[in-house]
Structure 1
Amino acid sequence: MHKIEVALKQHTPLIHFQHDQEGATLRATEVKPNLDRFILTKLGKSPTSDQVSIGHKALKEYDRNLNFDELTPYEKGKFIAKGLDWLIGKGEQPALDYKMKITSDSNDDNIKMRKEIKWVKDKQGNRVQDCDNNGNLLYKTTFPLVLANIGKKKESEIVDFSFSNEIKILFSSFIVELINVIEKAIYEFVILNNFGNRCSKGFGSFTVEKINDTPFELDEQYFEENTFILEFELKKSGNLNLSYFEKIFGVIDYFWRRLKPGINYRGNYIKSYLYKYINQKYQKTWEKQKIKEYFCIEKTKNQNNNPNPPIFARALLGLPDKFEFKNQTVTIKITHPDIERIMAPIHFKPIIDGDKVTIYLLIKNEHFENLKLPTNFTFTNTKDENFMTLPLDIEMDYYDFLKEYYNEFKSENFEFTPINYSGDNILGNNNKVKLYII
């Protein structure tokens, strides 16, 4: 049996549904299939001539009508691995033949979400804790970008954070070549991915600290050229705690709002850059005004002022399943015959080094690469089932999108002050977030 041990450094909390269990941390059931896909894709992207021959042979044994050269890198990697006998069993499933065991020290209790009681008034007007129809007491939590706990939840349904100071992954396999491949791939895999719920927004960020006894430093060569970076100073007062991470995710939340929905805080309004970009670049406008007009949700000012045709633009940054207009208690459900979910194509990768926080913006647009355009989405009012459709008919270059967004900050010296709803600086004092492209 051949083995390697990988020590990880955790940079941001992992959102965990089993947070109260001893050693709750990364789940092998999430990490292994993603690592397998990563390795197989790399294998298929740059195979040796011998591996190409092995892949051709394995493919012909599977289906003589398929052409190896027309396969995706991932599919090529699967057949190469099958030919090399790297897959579990007879290779029916694309699971590489190794075992993974993840261990961690106890979770840091300083990094737990604050649980708040949901108060309501009973028939006599007394203030009591809310409960569901079965008598279960209901709670809520508030933390930037954590959507799972919004609304009323039973205590057992509340998600919380898992944060460990020591995490190790032990890989073992009878195939020495496979262990060698894992050893070469694991650093890049971890630095280019986050894990757990809401991973695209920066939760569950890790890097490799050691492989066996060899230490590893941060290596930016694995990031794509023209990667967008946010950087700021954030001093720790003693041990890491919840308020420290609230500031980091407050910055991400503010930045994302400026990018996608726009800022509409008390006394602070900034138009969505997505709206500006599609109007300038594609002569299209987004869906917001059309939806409000069609469903008579709000009386909009300057109706039809924008001559550009509306598209479902916000799907370009991740597909929501509904729009809620709380002032009018209206919910618009969004559906598509073939698409249930489109993950956000921009992922935030926070890395903490002393008092410096660096957040890399990673482009992951595989969902859009497989999307056949143009395509139509249906918007339905859940009250009366009235519906309308809007198209999504543009392919966006996300590197260009972020590069143009970066240029928007030229007048601000490529830095900004992240604020909360009240207009206060999230980072405190005069601390600002600097922007770079590497």
Structure 2
Amino acid sequence: MNVIKLEFSLKQITPMIHFQNENGATIRATELKPKLDRFILLWMAYENNKVKCNEQKIDSETEILKKIVKEKDYDNWIIDEKHIALNYKMRIKATCKDENKDLLNHSNKRQKYLGNANYILDNRNKDEEDKYVSTFSKKILVKIICFDELLADKIIELLPILIDLTAFGLQQSKGYGNFRVDEIFKENKKQQYKPDIERNYIKLLKNFNTINNNVLVYKLELDKEKNDKINADYAVALNAIAEYNRFLKSGLRLDGIYIPSVIMKKYFKQNGYNIINEKKAMKQKLHLAKYNIENLTHHDNKKIINNYDFSDSGKIYYTRGLLGFAQLYQFSLCIKKNHDKFDIIPRYKNGKEKKAFWKVFDVKGKIGKEEISRFPSPLHYHVSENYKEIYIIVNNNSLISLQNENPIITFKEKYAKEEKQRKTYKKDKKEQVEYVQFTAKLPDTKKFDFESFFKVAGLDTILFMANVKNKFNEIYEGEYFLTKLEDNQNER
């Protein structure tokens, strides 16, 4: 049996959020190897034209992989058909932490994480729950022992692309936990390799878009005229990602003033679709249930919530769900200047009463009788090594597959036992709570597609990010330019 030794040197680009705060804490082989196994087989399925099914549907990727593992060509590669595991061993080691890129060292105060992660960075306060740390390693070594020459060459070819395409730890889709392959060694001999994230993305497009537009790639870059003058850092990139993603999904807040979600609203209005999104439906349902949300139904003496006919449930759409499902949907029932006009909802934590102005809905999706446990965001953000470009990888196939299944999403109100505002009825001589709930659909492929969406979201235009800060918590004024990568571009 041939034994081929490979070694990949990785460079960390952005902080990784996880539970361990040790010098050697980094990517886990148990997370990277399964991803690489699936990626190699899926890549080869498209590369060798073994993809038989043009239909985009849920679990199509798993079906393709099951067919591939049965191919005789891969007898020496696969050691576990059930878990789709390839015949090589992996070990990962981080040399030491880079304290200069530890976020805690840039503030005397115990702070929350950058962007919209909202995770506590350290565990100095033992009473806090959900403690996480950020780690930034100077160098990471991925050592692989492989038992097939062709498989070893495939790993050399595809691991750099997977690393550019994947992130690790918490909030990995928002730019955290980014790495790059820096050097490659085979049997202790350095291989010819020059890191080029854009070239790898073009390879990705060429391989996976032979049948459908399964993958789309967009680039958000600093204004080229200012590029050389701007000292960008990872905090600027991560905060820009958080700001832009919020802008796409739900709107922005600037100095306490809410800027509406112009992207989603503008997109559907521009395309002539008169729909009710989930948040409007929530407000109207709460209003009909006698919740005091007068301040949310009127603006400048103009009524902004109509009496929609909810008998036609087909009008309600889960527009935010196009960018990923959430298990809970939470929004404020009140704005600061009208606190006195709203009956406060009491919340209790550790036996202590806390006043809140928030309403929470459970979100559950179903395809037929099967419940959708989760639908991660089809958007995955990656940061360039110089922090001046942000690449948006769009898993177009995952959204189209879900749209084709026409899921039904249910929103059901949650509230504390002590909440005053509730509507009750009696059943079997017991007082029961009547929850506010409704169902919604996901806009289908005729109503929503990502290529049209990103044209509205600022394609080929300069965008200004208002709340972006650097790692020293200073306002960073920069302009961003959104473009689309095409697979017909010349490789560098």
The normalised TM-score by structure 2 is 0.69
Corresponding residue to 1:351 among 384, 388, 412: 384
Letter in 1 for 2:409: N
Q: Partner residue of 2:478?
A: 431
In the other structure, the counterpart of 1:375 is 408
Answering whether residue 86 of structure 2 is matched by residue 86 of structure 1, we say no
Q: Compared with structure 1, are the counterparts of its residues 306 and 166 closer, same or farther at alpha carbon in structure 2 (3 Å cutoff)?
A: farther
Measured against aligned partners, the alpha-carbon deviations of 1:81-113 in whole angstroms (never above 9, x if no partner) come to 785232225x33311111111112211223334
Using the TM superposition, give the Cα deviation of residue 235 of structure 1 relative to its aligned residue in structure 2, in angstroms.
7.4
Contact 1:254-1:418 within 8 A present in 2 as well: yes
Q: Distance in 2 between matches of 1:335 and 1:117?
A: 41
Segments of 5+ residues of structure 2 without an aligned counterpart are: 53-59, 207-215, 309-313, 335-356, 417-432, 486-492
Secondary structure of the structure 2 residue equivalent to 1:12: coil
Structure 1's 346 and 113: CA in aligned 2 closer, same or farther, altered over 3 A? same
Which of residues 361, 371, 382 in structure 1 aligns to 2:392?
361
The residue identity in structure 2 corresponding to 1:342 is F
Give the Cα separation in 1 of the matches to 2:68 and 2:456.
Answer: 36
Give the partner amino acid of 1:160: V
Q: CA deviation at 1:430?
A: 4.8
- How far 1:404 sits from its partner (Å)? 3.0
CA shift, 1:141, in A, is 2.3
8 Å CA contact retained: 2:249, 2:263: yes
User: What is the aligned counterpart of 1:420 among 443, 448, 467?
Assistant: 467
Find the partner of 1:388 among 427, 432, 437. 437
Task: Flag the 1:40–1:70 CA change in 2: closer, same or farther, 3 A.
Answer: closer
Answer yes or no: is the 8 Å Cα contact 1:33–1:95 preserved in 2.
yes
**What corresponds to 1:33 in structure 2?**
34
What residue is the counterpart of 2:220 in the other structure? 230
1:393 Cα deviation after fit: 3.4
My pick for the range that moved more, 23-32 or 321-330, is 321-330
| Alignment correspondent of 2:323 | 317
| Partners of 1:209 and 1:216 within 8 A in 2 | yes
Distance 1:40 1:22 in 2: 34
Which residue among 249, 261, 278 is the counterpart of 2:268?
278
Distance 1:401 1:293 in 2: 27
Task: Name which of 100, 106, 110 aligns with 2:96.
Answer: 106
Instruction: Report if aligned partners of 1:334, 1:380 keep a CA contact under 8 Å in 2.
Output: no
Q: Is the 8 A contact 1:78 1:94 kept in 2?
A: yes
Shift of 1:361: 0.6
Amino acid at match of 2:42: T
- 2:390 aligned with 1:399, yes or no? no
Letter in 2 for 1:221: R
Distance 1:361 1:431 in 2: 18
For residues 61 and 135 of structure 2, the distance between their equivalents in structure 1, rounded to whole angstroms, comes to 43
- Equivalent residue number for residue 217 of structure 1: 195
Deviations 1:280-304 (A, max 9, x none): 3343242112101212352312244
- Secondary structure of residue in 1 paired with 2:219: strand
Which residue matches 1:3?
5
Residues 260 and 272, structure 1, Cα contact 8 Å, conserved in 2: no
Determine the C-alpha separation between the residues in 1 that align with 2:127 and 2:38.
36
Deviations 1:102-140 (A, max 9, x none): 11221122333449999xxxxxxxxxxxxxxxxxxxx86
**What secondary structure, in the 3-state scheme, does the structure 2 residue paired with 1:359 have?**
strand
Which structure's relative contact order is higher, taking Cα pairs within 8 Å and 6+ residues apart?
A: 2
Partner of 1:265: 254
Question: Is contact 2:284-2:305 (8 Å) kept?
Answer: no
Using the aligned pairs only, state the percent identity.
25
Normalising by structure 1, report the TM-score.
Answer: 0.77
* Counterparts of 1:208 and 1:421, CA distance in 2: 28
Partner of residue 141 from structure 1, selected from 94, 112, 115: 112
* Residue range with higher mean Cα deviation, 22-31 or 388-397: 388-397
1:382 deviation in Å? 2.9
Task: Give the 3 Å change call, closer, same or farther, for CA 287–155 of structure 1 in structure 2.
Answer: closer
Distance 1:81 1:208, change over 3 A: farther
Seen in structure 2, the aligned counterparts of structure 1 residues 112 and 157 have a Cα distance that, compared at 3 Å, is farther
Tell me the SS of whatever aligns to 2:316.
coil
Secondary structure of the equivalent of 1:336? strand
- Asked whether 1:290 is paired with 2:281, we answer yes
Cα 1:334–1:117, aligned 2, differ >3 Å: closer, same or farther? farther
1:190 corresponds in structure 2 to 163
- CA gap of 1:369–1:201, structure 2 versus 1, over 3 A, is same
Residues 343-378 of structure 1 deviation map (CA, whole Å, 9 limit, x = unaligned): 11111111123xx51101101245434432042323
How far the C-alpha of 1:159 sits from its partner, in A, is 0.8
CA RMSD of superposed structures (Å) = 3.5
| One-letter identity of the residue aligned with 1:364 | N
Aligned length: 384
Distance 1:16 1:310, change over 3 A: same
**Contact between 2:173 and 2:380, CA under 8 Å: does it hold in 1?**
yes
Look up the match of 1:42. Answer: 43
Alpha-carbon contact 1:112-1:160 (below 8 Å) kept: no
- Rounded to whole Å, the distance in 2 between the matches of 1:161 and 1:343 is 22
Distance in 1 (alpha carbons) for counterparts of 2:33 and 2:65: 15
**Deviation of the 1:314 alpha carbon:** 0.6
Q: 1:324 to 1:304 in 2, by over 3 A?
A: closer
Cα deviation, 1:137-191, whole Å, max 9, x if unaligned, reads: xx862421213439x9746841111111211111112222221211111121111
